[in-house]
Chain A
Amino acid sequence: MSVERAGTGVSTAGWEPKIIGFCCNWCSYAGADLAGTSRIPYPCNIRIIRVPCSGRVNPQFVLRAFQRGADGVLVAGCHPGDCHYSTGNYFTRRRFLLVKRLLEYLGIEPRRFQVRWISGSEGQKFADVVAEITEQVKALGPAKMDKMRDVM
């Protein structure tokens, strides 16, 4: 790992990304649980916030996470068709297709924000997704939205 990101002057020595993961209670949180009970290792960079449904994730949560120091945000829910509430994740899909593009438009590197469908039986997938995002965000370096953190 480079000690300094090229051209930024920001030291990344010893830096580990913080990733906020919004996991739906019924699928992705159970998937994370399965990863744990199956003893599948995954990076500890993710901080999971359990939500009743991926449809609960307000786009404001995502922006606020970035503003308060997250380097990456993951929204994980049931596969389309599998929602515990039948249709919640279909609304999530529409909403976050737009949010993803809007965040990118506002200049937030698109790989920092990801939406994934992870079922309760996909412990391995959960571990793989977390590993993949952590790797990508590490390569991108700190989100440097510290200027956004002037009110805490």
Chain B
Amino acid sequence: MKEKLSELKETVARLLKDRTVDFFIAYQAGHSQVEPIPFFLTTAEHVENLFLNNFCAHNLSKYLLDYLAGDEVVGVLAKGCDLRALKRLLTDHRVERGRVFVVGLPCIGIYDRKKVQEVYPAGLVEVVEEGEEVILRGETGDKRVPRKEYLLPRCLTCPDHNPEFYDLLLGEKVANGPLAEEDYSDVRALEEWAPGERRRYWTRQFERCLRCYACRNVCPACNCRVCCFDVAEPRWLGKGTSLDEQEMFHFTRAMHVAGRCTGCGECERVCPVNIPLMKLNKKLAKDIGALFHVPQAEIPTEVEPLGQFRLGDPDEFN
């Protein structure tokens, strides 16, 4: 991905100069190689600070919600997964297609910062891909590992290495297809446990929640104009940090994004206390697929699965 940096710089400079876009959202270098941060460019002079590597995980299209007022055209760099997120915002009529200029970025996988940092807590110089293997080049020496083990979970089952649509594509399209099939094995494993065991498991997870709302803020499906956790009413929906409120928050969020979740796993990635949030979202995605025959790959749908019904839906309630 790094090799596309010069092309990205040229492209962004051109788009800003000829006023195709009023500003552009991409990445800049963070504290280290593994922590790129979002970058908002308003002039072509800033393109030298652009940064691109295989740790650019952030979904930048969520920032479009910050620019709803006004009439600027916003350029955004989007990988396949980010494009699905953007599609979510477009389907929900939150973002106008005409005000977004999508620069598509073919991507064969983003590395999981946390996993790499276990090997290189500091001093990672670069990551070199060699087929199914990857060389983590650090100051203290190289480490050759299987690529799959260091990718973000979403990248293993990623169906679109190339963005579905774009106004401009960086580089060439890459070979498509997931590295592994989504089999919901982690959800199934948890389903096998005794109810009491599951209760203890989830209590341990929710206990850690800080109510920082990072999961909500990063989620493309959480795009309500007003979030129920940001308003004073209803009073029975608490804002505090206590186990019951924390569980309520995650239960509510799981239900609110049920049938809307694009499966990007950003919530889990940004969680500072590592709550396995995708185990909730995947459980719902799995049940929606089984009960209502809407597979995860088809989401976002124009009418969401919980916003419609069929007379012949399964009925076990009698």
Contacts and interface: CB of A to CB of B under 8 A. Distances in A.
Interface of A: 59-60, 63-64, 67, 80-81, 87, 90-91, 93-99, 101-102, 104-110, 114-117, 147-151
In the A-B complex, list the 3 residue pairs whose CB atoms are closest, starting with the nearest. A107-B199, A107-B198, A90-B309
A64 B236 contact: yes
Given A60-B248, A107-B201, A148-B244, A91 B309 contact: yes
Interface stretch (B106-114, B170-178, B280-288): B280-288
A101 B195 contact: no
B238 interface: yes
A89 to B, nearest CB: 9
Contact of B313 (A81, A93, A106): A93
A91 B306 contact: yes
Contacts of A94: 291-292, 305-306, 308-309, 313
Contact of B248 (A67, A93, A147): A67
A139 to B, nearest CB: 14
A116 B318 CA distance: 6
B203 A98 contact: no
A94 B238 CA distance: 27
Contacts of A63: 247-248, 251
A125 B219 CA distance: 44
A82 B283 CA distance: 31
B199 A67 contact: no
Contact of A98 (B258, B311, B315): B258
A60 B309 CA distance: 21
Given A94-B306, A151-B242, A105 B283 contact: yes
B191 A59 contact: no
Given A59-B252, A147-B243, 5 more contacts: A93-B317, A97-B313, A102-B283, A106-B202, A108-B199
Contact of A59 (B197, B198, B255, B291): B255
B70 interface: no
Contacts of A81: 311
Contact of B315 (A93, A99, A110, A114): A93
8 contacts: A59-B252, A67-B244, A98-B288, A106-B198, A107-B202, A108-B195, A115-B317, A151-B240
A71 B255 CA distance: 22
Contacts of B306: 91, 94-95, 98
Contact of A93 (B198, B255, B287, B309): B309
Interface in B173-205: 187, 190-191, 195-203
Nearest to B187: A105
A149 B248 CA distance: 12
B131 interface: no
Contacts of A60: 237, 248, 251-252, 255
A107 B204 CA distance: 12
B230 interface: no
Contacts of A90: 309, 311, 313
Given A80-B315, A93-B317, A106 B199 contact: yes
A150 B244 contact: yes
A150 B243 contact: yes
B275 to A, nearest CB: 13
B316 interface: yes
A96 B314 CA distance: 11
Contacts of B190: 105
A97 B244 contact: no
Contacts of A147: 203, 243
Nearest to A107: B199
